[in-house]
Amino acid sequence: MARMSADLTEDDIPVSQLEASSRRMNMIEAINDALDIMLSHDPSVIVMGEDVGYFGGVFRATAGLQAKYGKTRVFDTPISECGIIGAAVGMGAYGLRPVPEIQFADYIYPGIDQLISEAARLRYRSAGEFIAPLTVRSPFGGGIFGGQTHSQSPEAIFTHVAGLKTVIPATPRDAKGLLIAAIEDNDPVIFFEPKRIYNGPFSGYYDKPVEPWKNHPDSEVPEGYYRIPLGKARVARSGDAMTILTYGTMVHVAQAVCQAKGVDAEILDLRTLVPLDVEAVENSVQKTGKCLVVHEATRTSGFGAELAALVQERCFYHLEAPVERVTGFDTPYPHSLEWAYFPGPVRIGDAIDKLLEA
């Protein structure tokens, strides 16, 4: 397998070199660039899924790849999520590194049995003789008025499964580096892409337009190969007043709220939920003494509950107030009330005020 330098990460590249060889991309372009690099340098990498070939994907994340690498490396599949993931597990067991795309995260449920019973278990069932190095890409979350079957955030389901890794980028720079790391990983990875920020970060103030990535500092994406190790969080905003634990779209919403309110909060972009950067969480909360968890998914049994439990277990004697959560509501995804469903500036702002008062 013609892999690139396995030890080369973004942190190893001098800042001057990164800046000299980077260009501005939105998240779709960064994902396409990562796939292009891995297809070019590793003949075992293949891209598969519904409409990913000739059409280039619903959101154009695979545009141009079939024309460049051919129909045996980038190809369309039948409309069968169970079949897509099942085939990818078999391909991985026989030495390939498949990158199947599930068109929307809402469609992933028919393939859950293959992910949980086969992909996540294969290394253990075979005592290490076989692995399932597949990276399941899927747009997830709301923001495009897609309704109940195009807007769900099911990340907590996969974080519960031992043997799966779950990755959610918040910037184009992270999306490229994390996707390359996921493809190179020998374990199955669920790579959720927040489609609400495909073309630019959104503050959550729904009366304001999307800010294009071309005007955002995190759109400076290094050219060529680099990877961001899985399990390493990013401090999106430094501060001392409290810690906000979040990921994906909500990183930008939290940043906008803190800026608007003038709150000196530290925002920790988790980037990977499993493996989780427990040390970064612990260090931040112990420094600030207060913790707010924000995610778009429903509240009950959401990943925020795991974060709250972890903070309570590891940081109890540093906490000055109970951990607060701001999440989506426990209801089927509402099409017409999408913006009310999101954790927005009002609800996040209220939680921040409550922690500050405490």
The pLDDT tens digits of the residues spanning 283-319 come to: 999 999 999 999 999 999 999 999 999 999 999 999 9
What are the backbone dihedrals phi and psi of residue 292, each rounded to the nearest 5 degrees, phi first? -120, 130
The pTM for the full model equals 0.93
Q: How much is the pLDDT for 145? A: 77
pLDDT value of residue 120: 98
Residue 13 has a CB neighbour count (10 Å cut-off) of 15
pLDDT at 15: 46
Tokens in use for 221? 């994406």
For residue range 86-110, list pLDDT tens digits in order: 999 999 999 999 999 999 999 999 9
> Tell me, what's the pLDDT at 147?
77
328 bridge partner residues: 298
C-alpha atoms less than 13 angstroms from C-alpha of 347 in its C-beta half-sphere: 19
At 336, the pLDDT band (50, 70, 90 cuts) reads confident
Helix or strand or coil: residue 31?
A: helix
CATH 3.40.50.970 fits 13-222, yes or no: yes
Average pLDDT, the chain: 92
Nearest-10 Cα torsion for 29, 35, 40, 43: -170
Taking only the tens place, the pLDDT of each residue in 6-42 is: 444 555 444 444 455 899 999 999 999 999 999 999 9
Three-state SS at 326: strand
Rounded to an integer, what distance in angstroms lies between the CA atom of residue 208 and that of residue 111? 37
Burial class for 222, CB neighbours closer than 10 Å (0-12, 13-18, 19+): buried
| Active-site residue (options: 41, 150, 160, 295) | 150
- 238 or 210: which carries more pLDDT confidence? 238
Are 101 and 47 a contacting pair, CB within 8 Å? yes
CATH topology of domain 234-357: Rossmann fold (3.40.50)
Please tell me which residue, 207 or 64, carries the higher pLDDT value: 64
What is the reported pLDDT for 3?
43
Unique residue bearing structure tokens 């500092």: 217
- In angstroms, the CA 2 to CA 164 distance is 25
**Percent of the chain's residues with pLDDT above 70:** 93
* Rg of the Cα atoms in the chain: 20
Q: Report the pLDDT value the prediction gives residue 206, as an integer from 0 to 100.
A: 63
Q: List where CATH 3.40.50.920 sits in the chain.
A: 234-357
Domain with CATH 3.40.50.970 in the chain: 13-222
Query: What average pLDDT score do residues 223-237 get?
Result: 97
At residue 208, the pLDDT reads: 62
1, pLDDT greater than 50: no
Q: Who contacts 314 (Cβ-Cβ below 8 Å, separation ≥6)?
A: 278, 281, 282, 285
User: Is-catalytic flag, 150?
Assistant: yes
- Ranges of H-type helices in 42-98: 65-69, 81-93
* Residue 337 or residue 356, greater confidence: 356
Task: Provide the pairing of β-strand 272-274 with 165-167.
Answer: antiparallel
Percent of the chain at pLDDT exceeding 90: 83
Asked if residue 214 has pLDDT above 90, the reply is: no
- Given pLDDT bands bounded at 50, 70 and 90, which one contains residue 143? confident
pLDDT tens sequence across 246-286:
999 999 999 999 999 999 999 999 999 999 999 999 999 99
Contact (Cβ atoms closer than 8 angstroms) between residue 211 and residue 157 = no
pLDDT digits (tens, 9 = 90+) for 106-139: 999 999 999 999 999 999 999 999 999 999 999 9
The pLDDT value given to residue 12: 47
